[in-house]
Amino acid sequence: MRQLCFLLLLFSALQSFAQTEVKLTGRVLDEKTLKPLENVGIKLLSSTDRSVIKSSVTDAKGEFVLFSQPGRYHVKIEFIAYKTQLLENREITKNLKIEDIILKEDVQLLKSVDITAEKTTVELSLDKKVWQ
C-alpha cells in the first residue's frame, strides 16, 4: 500500500513539472505615431515546420500575452496595411517580455479606375412611360 501511495505521489509530481508553461508578452506600436495597435495578430510558430502553435491578438494598449511550453519558436506579427514581421528562432525557456515591436505601413498605390455611366431619361405620365 505504501508503494502504491508513493508511486501516485511521484507521478502527480512529475505531471505538475511537465505542465509548466512560459509566458511571452510584448507590445506592438505604429512606426509613425508610436501609438499602440489594437487587434494585431501574433502567432507562435514551430521552429521546424512553421506550423502555428498558439495565436493571440493585441488589446487596446497594443499588448499581447501567449502561453506555451518552453522551446525555440518563431514569432509572426501580422496586421492589415502593415508589413508582416517575423522574429526568428526565439528561445523561450522562461517568462519573456519582447521589446516593443514597431510595424511599418505597407501602402501601395493601385491603378486608378474611371467609372462612367449614362442615365436614361424617363418621363412618367399617368398612363405611360417614355424613355429618351
> Residue 84 and residue 100: Cα distance in Å, rounded?
15
Closest CA to 67 of 12, 22, 34: 22
Is 24 in contact with 65 (CB distance < 8 Å)? yes
pLDDT tens, residue by residue, 76-123: 999 999 999 999 998 988 999 999 999 999 887 778 888 888 777 777
Phi first, then psi, for residue 28 (nearest 5°) are -115, 130
pLDDT at 23: 93
pTM above 0.95, yes or no: no
Residue written as cell 513539472?
A: 17
Closest CA to 98 of 27, 21, 22: 27
